[in-house]
Amino acid sequence: MTNFVTHLECANCGDQYDPALVHGLCVKCRRPLWVRYDLERMRGSFSKAALHGRPPTLWRYLELLPVQDPAKIVSLTETVTPVVPVPRLGAALGARRLYVKDESRLPTGSFKARGMAMAVTKANEFGLRSLAVPTAGNAGGAMAAYAARAGLAAYVFMPQDTPAINVKECWLAGAKTFRVNGLINDCGRLVAEGKAAKQWFDLSTLKEPYRLEGKKTMGLELAEQFDWELPDVILYPTGGGTGLIGMWKAFAELGRLGWLKSDRRPRLISCQSEGCAPIARAYDQGLRFAPLFENAATMASGLRVPAAVGDFMILDAVRASGGCAVAVPESGIAPWMRKSISLEGLAICPETAVCFSALEMLLARGDIQPDERVVVFNTGAAQKYPETVHEEVPLLDLSQPIDWANI
């Protein structure tokens, strides 16, 4: 396999780095790094036809990924996730061409498998032996699983109110798992502080270049699934924002390769809860960098990111696409989970429920039209969030006659 990576490049100041060496943030400005490819050379040797017959996993796009040695790939078989039409949910919303790309089918039950598969693969290539991550939930479980697959030591730091299933899956995978009486940014501070003493590599969101490349495959898959004609609108639940940024990068690279049928790109909608909405607030205020969101609190744990190191990358992508960043009421999350799952049977997570609430608002405002082709990303499985469900299920007492009239 030919590797087309040319260099790493700071997304803020443009400084370049050698991809053969281990890097975190830009040394100069402490901002994230892009992986850059020789797309002109790739265009002459890698075509869409090359995908035919390849296994339906994210690794089918290997030329567009930063893997140097395929023998070092760390994989749990990251399947191409389905794009599912949701006509009943669409009818309820007034969106006639609505689809869900269901990331809950991936290993560990969320889209975090994509980023961690790539980041742990690169750690394996570089010969790193110990990894650490701060997490609001699903990233920790994914990192722990892939570290276990590679035989690497894993340390996970998570807020104390992280969903219990996320805590248990990290522990089960053998990670040294710690709950912290703070938010994810506090967990990130602990990971940074412990580097000198523990000699681990920091896999925090966008603090290394490769989780982004794994998340980029969502955009590559979506383009292929829509026969290289992208949808009109993408709604994406945004915490750290790596997936949204990665998809925008994927669309740019596919455009440079000449694979897309038109120059039109989807409008990206960054969706947050009013309980933690730094990106939406910065968008509304015309800012490029988002101030810390104080007292962040939302049941959608993946969105509880009060400060994102890639804030400017999210906002740049949203604005360049002609999209927007919105926040919706926290009170709508649980009802939208129930409504979307009961109408379509898909295991929609609370973060994705935020997207459906946002879609309802944007349709009502006229920002999205009923006939546009709209894709909502379901970033995780509902089963991983039992704390968000407060069901009222009656108990049938078998010692008494059943009152079938009230069943």
| Residue 390 confidence (pLDDT) | 87
**What domains does the chain contain, in order, with CATH numbers?**
83-109+210-386 (3.40.50.1100)
Q: Quick one: CA dihedral 133, 60, 110, 361, positive or negative?
A: positive
| Residue 391 confidence (pLDDT) | 83
| Residue 1 confidence (pLDDT) | 62
The count of C-alpha atoms lying within 13 angstroms of the C-alpha of 84, restricted to the half-sphere facing its C-beta, is 19
| Residue 389 confidence (pLDDT) | 87
| Residue 51 confidence (pLDDT) | 97
| Residue 137 confidence (pLDDT) | 86
Q: Give the 3-state DSSP-derived string for the chain, with helices as H, strands as E and coil as C.
A: CCCCEEEEEECCCCCEECCCCCCCCCCCCCCCEEEEECHHHHHHHCCHHHHCCCCCEHHHHHHHCCCCCHHHCCCCCCECCCEEECHHHHHHHCCCEEEEEEHHHCHHHECHHHHHHHHHHHHHHHCCCEEEEECCCHHHHHHHHHHHHHCCEEEEEEECCCCHHHHHHHHHCCCEEEEECCCHHHHHHHHHHHHHHHCCEECCCCCCCHHHHHHHHHHHHHHHHCCCCCCCEEEEECCCCHHHHHHHHHHHHHHHHCCCCCCCCCEEEEEEECCECHHHHHHHCCCCCCCCCCCCCCCCHHHCCCCCCCHHHHHHHHHHHCCEEEEECHHHHHHHHHHHHHHHCCCECHHHHHHHHHHHHHHHHCCCCCCCEEEEEECEEHHHCHHHCCCCCCCCCCCCCCCHHHC
Mean pLDDT of successive 10-residue stretches along the chain, which has 407 residues: 91 97 96 97 94 97 97 98 98 98 97 98 98 94 98 97 93 97 93 94 96 98 98 97 97 98 97 98 98 95 94 98 98 96 97 98 98 98 92 91 93
